[in-house]
Amino acid sequence: MSQTHAAERPSAEPDTPLAHGLAPDSLSDCELLARLLACSADDASAAALARDALDRCGSLRALFAAALSAPAGLDPHCVGLLQCAHELIRRQLRQELLRGGALTSPAETLDYLQHSLGNRRREVFQCLFLDTRHRVIRSEELFQGSIDGACVYPRVIAERALRHNAAAVIVAHNHPSGVTEPSLADQAITRRIKDALALLEIRLLDHFVIGEGSPVSMAARGMI
């Protein structure tokens, strides 16, 4: 968006959160985005960029997904800041995951997996390798594919588990379509991964499917 267009908007809006310092949880999506963009722009320009970006994409989820692929049409300044924000959040969640605490429930991994996989436009298959106390040793993205799927090789997962001396593994992948229901192919590859790991006396604890809404735990569904 040009400076001329931004300047046509009011220079100070009475309800702007940038002027009043309101708590983040009381702000709208547009107001939160404007705060982020205002780090390197004036208030009026940031508000205009935020409105334009949300109007183009329709939602924050769609906006972050678009920013990661940096399409034409979105303001480069906005795209760059969103990419940095996404990466900072991903790193913070990963550090929390790797700080050494044991995972006691599936919910403890979901924040990281959702942020890591939820906005991808292509399918990505990720593995968490755990020790005997279910502490995360390593998180790796092992396979990437098209918008419709990714080729997953259980032998590679087993080899990586051995290399990390893992006692258990959690796997996850995203459905770019947003539909989280496990497909027949998802169920088949889960059984193959479980069998490959079992030969090495390594447990497959869960397989999460990430999309729009709540992720699906295949273990909770009785599919493992």
The tens digit of pLDDT for each residue in 2-51 reads 333 333 333 333 333 334 455 656 777 787 777 777 765 566 777 787 78
- Global pTM value: 0.60
Q: In what helix (H) or strand (E) does residue 140 lie, and over which residues does it extend? A: strand 136-144
| Same domain (yes/no): 82, 132 | no
Q: Quick one: pLDDT at residue 10?
A: 35
Half-sphere exposure of 25 (CA within 13 A, CB side): 0
Percent of the chain with pLDDT over 70: 67
The tens digit of pLDDT for each residue in 147-165 reads 667 899 999 999 999 999 9
Structural domain includes residue 113: yes
Using an 8 Å Cβ cutoff, are 209 and 182 in contact?
yes
Structure token pair of residue 184: 């027949």
| Same domain (yes/no): 81, 123 | no
Task: Out of 32, 57, 89, pick the residue that ends a domain.
Answer: 89
Using an 8 Å Cβ cutoff, are 136 and 129 in contact?
yes
Q: What rounded mean pLDDT belongs to the chain?
A: 77
Q: How far apart are CA 160 and CA 199, in angstroms?
A: 14
Tell the residue number behind the tokens 């990661």, with chain if given. Answer: 68
| Same domain (yes/no): 117, 190 | yes
- Residue 169's domain is classified under what CATH number? 3.40.140.10
Q: How far apart are CA 152 and CA 173, in angstroms?
A: 10
Domain that holds residue 168: 102-217
Q: Quick one: pLDDT at residue 152?
A: 94
Of the ranges 69-83, 91-105, 200-214, the best mean pLDDT one = 200-214
Q: Quick one: pLDDT at residue 18?
A: 37
Q: Which ranges constitute the DSSP H helices of the chain?
A: 3-7, 17-20, 29-37, 43-57, 60-69, 76-97, 107-117, 154-163, 184-198
Q: CB under 8 Å to 120, separation ≥6 — which residues? A: 65, 68, 174, 176
| Same domain (yes/no): 46, 9 | yes
Number of domains, the chain: 2
Give the model's confidence band at 110: pLDDT under 50 very low, under 70 low, under 90 confident, else very high: confident
Structural domain includes residue 97: no
| Same domain (yes/no): 116, 192 | yes
Cα 104 to its chain centre, rounded Å, is 21
| Same domain (yes/no): 213, 106 | yes
**DSSP summary character for residue 102:** B
Structural domain includes residue 224: no
Percent of the chain with pLDDT over 90: 36
Structural domain includes residue 171: yes
